[in-house]
């Protein structure tokens, strides 16, 4: 296993002024820095690539999906912008050596409504159409796109692994797979270990192993032993990443409903979370 941590734990948005995190994350003992791409133009990607290579840190890339990046929107211009953002991030992932680009690629975070079946069908079809296009780009770039289910309070579209599996089946691209965040799974799934088994090695491309309250891994109520057993059974050998939020921006606070500190400090959460990962998964 390779263990990583998201830049979200310290900075939102992550910018060129945040590059001291590379040395910090390496010094803590992580294998991977997961770069959250909120505003790609604020990051000197060439310099970041040099730094991560110098510190021998691998990179994974995650997305941030606001209302203007919604590939299932009623507005064609927003759908187009969302697809452009996804394809831009796929190309960034390729250049940075990230095997994956993941997140709630299907919609905007915070888009929660009660809508009729006909509207659901339209939005689903728009999403599939755009993910087929994104899948072609991902195939050309050698990158996997991870469809991440979110909990019911953050999206009304893909809450469960079953819904993600249905979407991936309709898209039918070898480069569109599923990533899991155990925080969301803890709300929506009956059993996280059974969910991992259901998705299986071929489709599970990335895991953000977050605690039940988004705090330090190992301090909440998740069935970590069951999760470890399921990952071992399917032969998962990719990244396990902490993705939670320390220095919370107004946009992140609204999207993730984080109104209080999740640990004494971001550094403490990272250090203790990594120690738990190594104890549990190594």
pLDDT tens across 76-88, in order? 999 999 999 999 9
- Per-residue exposure over 206-225, b if at least 16 CB sit within 10 Å of its own CB, e if not: bbbbbbbebbbbbbbebebe
pLDDT of residue 256: 72
Q: pTM here?
A: 0.96
pLDDT of residue 193: 98
Token match 């996997």: residue?
144
Residues linked to residue 144 through DSSP beta bridges, in sequence order:
100
Tell which CATH classification among 1.10.357.10, 2.30.30.100, 3.30.565.10, 3.20.20.150 matches the domain 2-281: 3.20.20.150
Using alpha carbons, list the distances in angstroms from residue 5 to 71, 240, 251.
27, 8, 20
Contact 229, 266 (CB under 8 A): no
pLDDT of residue 257: 72
What are the helix (H) ranges across 29-71? 45-54
pLDDT of residue 134: 98
pLDDT of residue 282: 87
Using alpha carbons, list the distances in angstroms from residue 167 to 125, 131, 148, 160, 220.
10, 9, 11, 11, 31
Q: Is 243 part of the annotated catalytic residue set?
A: yes
pLDDT of residue 121: 98
123, 148, 188, 189: the active-site residue: 148
pLDDT of residue 250: 66
Contact 269, 262 (CB under 8 A): yes
Low-confidence ranges of the chain (pLDDT < 70): 247-254
pLDDT of residue 86: 98
Tokens coding 241? 């990443």
188, 189, 211, 243: the active-site residue: 243
- Residue 269, class by beta-carbon neighbours within 10 Å (0-12 exposed, 13-18 middle, 19+ buried)? buried
pLDDT of residue 248: 59
Contact 162, 189 (CB under 8 A): no
Contact 8, 244 (CB under 8 A): yes
Token match 């990230």: residue?
98
What 8-state DSSP symbol labels residue 74? S
Using alpha carbons, list the distances in angstroms from residue 251 to 12, 100, 121.
9, 24, 28
CA distance 24 to 9: 12
Tokens coding 185? 């799974």
């Amino acid at each position: 296993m390779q263990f990583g941590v998201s830049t979200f734990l310290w900075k939102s948005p992550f910018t060129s002024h945040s590059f001291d995190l590379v040395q910090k994350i390496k010094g803590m003992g992580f294998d991977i820095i997961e770069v959250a791409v909120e505003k790609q133009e604020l990051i000197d990607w060439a310099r970041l690539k040099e730094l991560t290579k110098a510190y021998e840190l691998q990179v994974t890339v995650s997305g941030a999906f606001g209302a203007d990046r919604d590939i299932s929107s009623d507005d064609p211009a927003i759908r187009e912008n969302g697809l452009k953002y996804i394809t831009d991030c796929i190309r960034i992932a390729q250049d940075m050596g990230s095997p994956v680009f993941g997140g709630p690629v299907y919609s905007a975070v915070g888009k929660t409504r009660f809508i009729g079946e006909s509207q659901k069908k339209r939005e689903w079809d728009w999403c599939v159409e755009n993910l087929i296009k994104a899948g072609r780009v991902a195939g050309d770039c050698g990158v996997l796109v991870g469809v991440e289910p979110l909990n019911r309070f953050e999206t009304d579209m893909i809450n469960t692994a079953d819904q993600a599996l249905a979407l991936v089946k309709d898209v039918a691209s070898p480069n569109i797979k599923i990533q899991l965040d155990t925080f969301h799974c803890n709300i929506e799934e009956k059993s996280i270990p059974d969910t991992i088994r259901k998705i299986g090695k071929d489709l599970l491309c990335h895991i953000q192993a977050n605690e039940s309250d988004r705090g330090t891994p190992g301090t909440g109520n998740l069935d970590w032993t069951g999760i470890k057993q399921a990952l071992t059974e399917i032969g998962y050998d990719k990244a396990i990443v902490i993705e939670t939020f320390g220095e919370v921006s107004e946009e992140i606070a609204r999207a993730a409903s984080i109104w209080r500190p999740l640990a004494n400090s971001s550094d403490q959460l990272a250090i203790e979370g990594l120690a738990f990962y190594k104890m549990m998964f190594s």
